Amino acid sequence: MKDNQQNLIRFLIGLGDDSVVLSHRLSEWCSNGPYLEEDIALSNIALDYIGRARMFYQYAAELEGDKRTEDDIAFLRNEREYTNLLIHELPINDFAFTMVRQYFLDVYYCQYLLQLCESTDERIAAIAAKAVKESRYHLKRSKPWIKQLAEGTDESRERVQLALDELENFVGELFLMEEWETQLANDKLVVDRKTLEANWNSEVQSFLAESDMKFPDSKIQIRGGRNGIHTEHLGHMLSEMQYLQRSMPGLEW
Amino acid sequence: MQTVNDAEEQLKFDQRIIDEQKIEPTDWMPDAYRQNLIRQMSQHAHSEVIGMQPEGNWITRAPTLRRKAVLLSKVQDEAGHGLYLYSATESLGITRSDLIEALQSGTAKYASIFNYPTLTWADMGAIGWLVDGAAIVNQISLQRTSYGPYARAMVRICKEESFHQRQGYEIMTVLAKGSAEQKQMAQDAMNRNWWPSLMMFGPHDSDSAHSGKSMKWKIKRVSNDQLRQKFIDQTVPQIEELGLDMPDPELKWNEERGSYDSGEINWEEFYQVINGSGPCNYQRIKHHKKAHKEGEWVREAVRAYQEKQNAKKQTNVA
């Protein structure tokens, strides 16, 4: 039971990390979007993810016995202690990359969170229920963007293709389970992500096929995020994000 | 050339202004009224949009998750205000792309305060508190402006601005009551932002190029100097409450006037910044142009996609 509690905390922090890292990336679009409307929309999605991160961290902090706060978790851990899945931390690149990643994650979260609503842990189920509604809305936005970019100009199509090529390296990790996570899944506390892959593939592939584009079944599986092995990008993000808390520690803000 | 019909319309228009009736987009209006509104409203819209940059400068470095969420939603609100004001300005018969071009070419202005750098986290407090505070004083008076869409935009925008001001003041409160270093940060940010905030109200009434006509048409309802005084009077007690030193040694209560006296603004600096030579003028416009240029392929893709869809529809109809 004690093991399970530790694993649950680990799980919550991992999901919090996924959210905080992606929200950071999305927020980088603020004042940089192709339309003012997109600045607003991407900020909105970033806000949803900050909200998720806070819910996951707060619950983790409570389970730990309130030894640290949500901000301690976010701002006082280093690269090797962050456990987000790698796809979330990749730089925003161009608008095509940002939207393709978002579309991939929207499809993933719609499926994942829907199942997580069934968690035997009521608090997790409640967070998932709130978040899945957001992701459905996000998907309503990202899908038409992929279509427009894939079928717009030669340039936009090429940019979508480049994004697909790069993301091929990082999608696989979404469906790889850690041993401790599998234990939690066996206890119906969390979702076995492996089981989502086939559905994810068929949804994404049939949608991309409408625009005559492809994404392979068997993907390169770079893994490490949940064990603190990251891309080189995360360190730079954290040094920016944590700068105030690190340079002036122990203060109220 | 003014026709007989125009002269009649002009009389009716003047009477409506006297009667405090709102002018709506489809109503007849003198061309100079229209141009004056386009200038003022687009300047207002551009200020919201350019204002996203100095605050956006701290989104990725906000010190807590809550602060980050609040700041991000504040900047998002500014973008929303910009959008809303662009739409309201478009009701005068100009397009958003024309307005953006005027901004990028330097023909259109924006609030000069955004040409100063946000150097520390305390600037997020000072901007919310002072800059949004000054904006609210101005915008409350504009809720009674004679052009309907502008007046309605102001009502909506003022509600959000007061939330912005509160969050800014809250940041200042925490810093002012925090460590010595934090308090110093708050003092410094207030000192730096104080004068540029007073400059936001524009030149003295006697030197204001557009004020006379704007007041006559009731586009502008209260003079620059009166608004500035109102802002000073409401802000000085807040500085005292924060326990910070006054940013201007000449700030003193004048019993007779029932207002605070204050030192003179450095008008040379004001005109320098307005005319494009402030610390960040170049950077702000460069950033705007760069983002706009980098988004061009996206906008092109959207246009191309639309054209293809329209062509498909036409083939289907045929």
Inspect the interface and report whether the beta carbons of B298 and A155 lie closer than 8 Å.
no
The Cα–Cα gap between A172 and B281 comes to 46
CB-CB contact of A87 with A174 (8 Å): yes
Chain B 110-129, CB below 8 Å of chain A: which residues? 121
Measured between CA atoms, the residue of chain A closest to residue B51 is A31
Inspect the interface and report whether the beta carbons of B82 and A36 lie closer than 8 Å.
yes
Residues of A in contact with B83 (CB under 8 A): 36-37, 40
User: pLDDT digits over B179-192, tens only?
Assistant: 999 999 999 999 99
CB-CB contact of B254 with B236 (8 Å): no
Select from A20, A35, A241 the Cβ nearest to the Cβ of B295.
A35
The Cα–Cα gap between A22 and A89 comes to 6
Residues of A in contact with B182 (CB under 8 A): 248, 251
Indicate the pLDDT class of residue B208, thresholds 50, 70 and 90. confident
The Cα–Cα gap between B44 and A47 comes to 26
Q: Is B180 on the interface with A (CB under 8 A)?
A: no
Tell me which residue of B106, B98, B59 sits closest to B78, measured CA to CA.
Answer: B59
Q: Could you tell me the domains of chain A?
A: 2-247 (1.20.1260.10)
Select from A71, A74, A152 the Cβ nearest to the Cβ of B304.
A152
Instruction: Calculate how close chain B gets to A85, using CA atoms only, in Å.
Output: 20
Tokens linked to A162: 């480049």
Instruction: Calculate how close chain A gets to B37, using CA atoms only, in Å.
Output: 22
Residues of A in contact with B303 (CB under 8 A): 152
Please, where are the H alpha helices in A76-121? 95-116
Residues of B in contact with A240 (CB under 8 A): 60-61
Residues of A in contact with B178 (CB under 8 A): 251-252
Inspect the interface and report whether the beta carbons of B52 and A253 lie closer than 8 Å.
no
Tokens linked to B135: 């904006």
Residue A4 or residue B150, greater confidence: B150
Give me the percent of chain A exceeding a pLDDT of 70.
100
Rounded mean pLDDT of B72-81?
96
**3-state SS class at B248:** coil
User: pLDDT digits over B101-136, tens only?
Assistant: 999 999 999 999 999 999 999 999 999 999 999 999
**3-state SS class at B78:** helix
Go through chain B and tell me how many residues it has: 318
CA dihedral for A153, A159, A165, A171, sign (positive or negative): negative
CB-CB contact of A116 with A125 (8 Å): yes
Is the predicted pLDDT of residue B210 greater than 80, yes or no?
no
Chain B 31-70, CB below 8 Å of chain A: which residues? 49, 52-53, 56, 59-69
The Cα–Cα gap between A121 and A15 comes to 15
Inspect the interface and report whether the beta carbons of A253 and B60 lie closer than 8 Å.
no
Select from A36, A75, A241 the Cβ nearest to the Cβ of B79.
A36
CB-CB contact of B297 with A159 (8 Å): yes
Rounded mean pLDDT of B230-247?
98
Chain position carrying tokens 């007989």 = B4
Is the predicted pLDDT of residue A219 greater than 80, yes or no?
no
Tell how far CA B236 is from the center of its chain.
Answer: 22
CA distances from A235 to A50, A52, B51 (A): 19, 22, 29
Indicate the pLDDT class of residue B2, thresholds 50, 70 and 90. low
Measured between CA atoms, the residue of chain B closest to residue A240 is B61
The Cα–Cα gap between A100 and A98 comes to 6
CB-CB contact of A127 with A55 (8 Å): yes
Give me the percent of chain B exceeding a pLDDT of 90.
90
- Best mutation site among B78, B171, B298, B303 for testing chain A: the one with the most A CBs within 10 Å? B298
Rounded mean pLDDT of B244-268?
97
Is the predicted pLDDT of residue A1 greater than 70, yes or no?
no
Beta-carbon pairs below 8 A across chains A and B: 131
HSE-CB at B244 with a 13 A cutoff on CA atoms is 29
Inspect the interface and report whether the beta carbons of B297 and A155 lie closer than 8 Å.
yes
The Cα–Cα gap between B285 and A210 comes to 40
CB-CB contact of B179 with A251 (8 Å): yes
DSSP character string of B138-154:
HHHHHTT-SBHHHHHHH
Inspect the interface and report whether the beta carbons of A253 and B121 lie closer than 8 Å.
yes
Is the predicted pLDDT of residue B317 greater than 90, yes or no?
no
DSSP character string of A204-230:
HHHHHHHTT----SS------GGGT--
Inspect the interface and report whether the beta carbons of B295 and A152 lie closer than 8 Å.
no
Enter the pTM of the model. Answer: 0.95
Select from A34, A155, A240 the Cβ nearest to the Cβ of B61.
A240
The Cα–Cα gap between B158 and B166 comes to 12
Residues of B in contact with A38 (CB under 8 A): 295
Q: Is B297 on the interface with A (CB under 8 A)?
A: yes
User: pLDDT digits over A126-173, tens only?
Assistant: 999 999 999 999 999 999 999 999 999 999 999 999 999 999 999 999
Cβ neighbours around B2 below 10 Å, total: 9
